[in-house]
Amino acid sequence: MARHLITSALPYINGIKHLGNMVGSMLPADVYSRYLRQRGHEVLYICATDEHGTPAELAAKAAGQSVQEFCAEQHDAQKAIYDGFALSFDYFGRSSSQQNREITQEFARELKANGFIEERAIRQVYSIADGRFLPDRYIEGTCPHCGYDKARGDQCENCTRLLDPTDLINPRSAVSGSTELEVRETTHLFLLQSKLAGEVEAWIDENGKDWPTLASSIARKWLTEGLNDRAITRDLDWGVPLPADVWPELAAQGKVFYVWFDAPIEYIGATKEWSDADPANRDWKSWWYETTDVRYTEFMAKDNVPFHTVMFPATQLGTRAPWKKVDYVKAFNWLNYYGGKFSTSQQRGIFTDAALELLPADYWRYFLMANAPESDDTSFSWELFSSTVNKDLADTLGNFVNRVLSFSLKRFGDTVPAGDAPGEAERALGAEVAGLLAEYEGHLDTLQFRKAAQALRALWSAGNVYLESKAPWLEIKTNPEGAALTLRTAMQLIHLYGVLSAPFIPASAAAMRAVFATDDTAVEPTWVSQEQAAALDFVPAGTSFTVPPVLFAKITDEDLAAWRERFGAQ
């Protein structure tokens, strides 16, 4: 059985993330990790804050803090929110860690030794008013490709094209707004990706055959356009410093590695952080170096695909060391907000801290996965959110649990009733549930989350259809033992839902399992086989139960009006 290494694209440190960030990498990775653990697999789910580069420095400056203080504070703030969303990271690290610094520098040494890094004199934008070079997001202007007037010096947020600061039209300093700019010569290190292009293409040919179309098409597009050499150092105060034993002069100038060079390496660095933090953890190299039993899955939004499918593999290949490379890239399109993009930099849309202030995490977890932007961009609206919560969570699942337990408590007391032996209706229900479980597993195995959510919803609906067809509130008048069987069977479904729903709505799933006085208190309960699902025999008659509080409250028209006004829905 393979061990599963799972990573989410590292969230930037420059502020709290929006729901688009959540659904584009961290949440689906968590759902998949939870599912695999329930199936008995060994899983290591790694993530970290991405703390280097101009976004961190600019955000720290705006906050009036040193960049070190800002990053430490924001790491804790982000981690608290991810805990609130019940993201089950095995470790959530920091790209500014000593471990990442050491591994990044070792990567660079190996690339240099193998002839894939060279020094080049280049011309770069210099701000006279600020007295400094303006790399990446320190400069803004109009994108030469799409005309977006707030493009950054490293990438256009609108069309996702990668840029150099000198590409921008009507450039201005992001620090002071000054347009008093000139181009000066400076020296930087370049990763010679052009020399690795053939190896990268061969690697993608071999390993990318089963990737989703979104990921493979972006990777192929980059290769078709040509893999250019890329500067991997910057003139910044904050970042992984160049190793002085290899580049003493540039190190003395204070140059640091480009954030997109060290950020993917932090997946390895964070794994070493995890291993160093607890000696009981398996050695970090067993996950990343000369390993044959690890399946590595990456989760990211589409703008991160080029870095993970081309640039980072080129970096790994160029070291000539047996680093573990990704097996499967799960990429997502955009989640938009009423047709416009969620944006951290422009504070547009719903941010994760505000979401948790409104409703518990499970509401958001289910909605986001049920509407995950897999095949194309999707748009968030409060109306869609309300409809999904009210129909699927409140009516289909929550109401089923409450109806069954409340009625059984009223008519048969606080233990699971016995009643008749299962009949044809129960056997047909078991067969249907087993079939739906097979569909659910198939979609989760292939990381098709919207389809998995549909299969889970169908499992919940099966219980309601069974309950309506048997109508125990009528059945009890003429056949109390038959009504007891119906309720006992429905309670088996409640327990089953408490197991199978755990990847999507872990807190609510735990509440469903806690209804029954059994020993099943695991955070990630053991998965149920299709044979067990068909038997519908999980909770013995006579087991005590309680009626929980309402699992999901309905969203009212008043709620909708207030939220639309607060968050600027259009």
pLDDT of 419 reads 93
Q: Contact at 8 Å (CB) between 52 and 238? A: yes
pLDDT digits (tens, 9 = 90+) for 376-428: 999 999 999 999 999 999 999 999 999 999 999 999 999 999 999 999 999 99
* Residue 462 neighbours by CB under 8 Å, 6+ apart: 429, 432, 433, 436, 493
pLDDT of residue 347 exceeding 70? no
CB atoms under 10 Å from CB of 98, counted, come to 12
The answer, as to whether pTM is greater than 0.95, is: no
pLDDT of residue 568 exceeding 80? no
pLDDT digits (tens, 9 = 90+) for 484-502: 999 999 999 999 999 999 9
Residue 99 CA to residue 77 CA, distance in Å, equals: 22
**What share of the chain has pLDDT > 70, as a percent?**
98
Q: Of 124-133, 236-245, 393-402, where does mean pLDDT reach its minimum? A: 124-133
Say what angle helices 361-370 and 27-38 make with each other, to 10 degrees.
Answer: 100
**Is residue 556 marked as binding?**
no
List Cα–Cα distances, 402 to 391, 397, 453, 546, in angstroms: 15, 9, 22, 10
pLDDT of residue 161 exceeding 90? no
Q: Specify the amino acid at residue 366.
A: Y
- DSSP string spanning 287-350? HHBS-SSEEEEEEEEGGGHHIIIIIHHHHHHHHTS-B---SEEEEE--EEETTEE-BTTTTBS-
Q: Which two tokens stand for residue 39?
A: 């199936």
- DSSP string spanning 431-462? HHHHHHHHHHHHHHHTT-HHHHHHHHHHHHHH
User: Dihedral sign, CA of 334, 338, 344, 346?
Assistant: positive
Average pLDDT over residues 22-32: 97
Average pLDDT value for the chain: 94
pLDDT digits (tens, 9 = 90+) for 90-113: 999 999 999 999 999 999 999 999
Q: pLDDT band for position 520 (50/70/90)?
A: low
**Is residue 159 marked as binding?**
yes
Average pLDDT over residues 356-384: 96
Average pLDDT over residues 160-181: 89
pLDDT of 521 reads 65
Side-chain half-sphere exposure of 182, counting CA atoms within 13 A: 5
Q: Of 83-92, 221-230, 380-389, 552-561, where does mean pLDDT reach its minimum? A: 221-230
**Is residue 344 marked as binding?**
yes
Q: Contact at 8 Å (CB) between 151 and 136? A: no
pLDDT of residue 344 exceeding 70? no
Q: pLDDT band for position 263 (50/70/90)?
A: very high
Phi, psi of 153 (to 5 degrees): -75, -10
Q: pLDDT band for position 346 (50/70/90)?
A: low
Residue 243 CA to residue 159 CA, distance in Å, equals: 35
The strand order across the sheet containing 3-8 reads 91-94, 43-49, 3-8, 294-301, 328-332
pLDDT of 61 reads 87
pLDDT of 14 reads 87
pLDDT of residue 437 exceeding 90? yes
pLDDT of 339 reads 78
**Is residue 143 marked as binding?**
yes
Average pLDDT over residues 74-93: 98
SS3 139: strand
Average pLDDT over residues 548-561: 95
Q: pLDDT band for position 140 (50/70/90)?
A: very high
Q: Of 171-175, 353-357, 473-477, where does mean pLDDT reach its minimum? A: 171-175
- Residue that wins the pLDDT comparison between 134 and 556: 556
Q: Contact at 8 Å (CB) between 83 and 27? A: no
pLDDT of 281 reads 87
**Is residue 71 marked as binding?**
no
Side-chain half-sphere exposure of 116, counting CA atoms within 13 A: 23
Structural domains of the chain, with CATH: 3-107+260-379 (3.40.50.620), 116-252 (2.170.220.10), 382-535 (1.10.730.10)
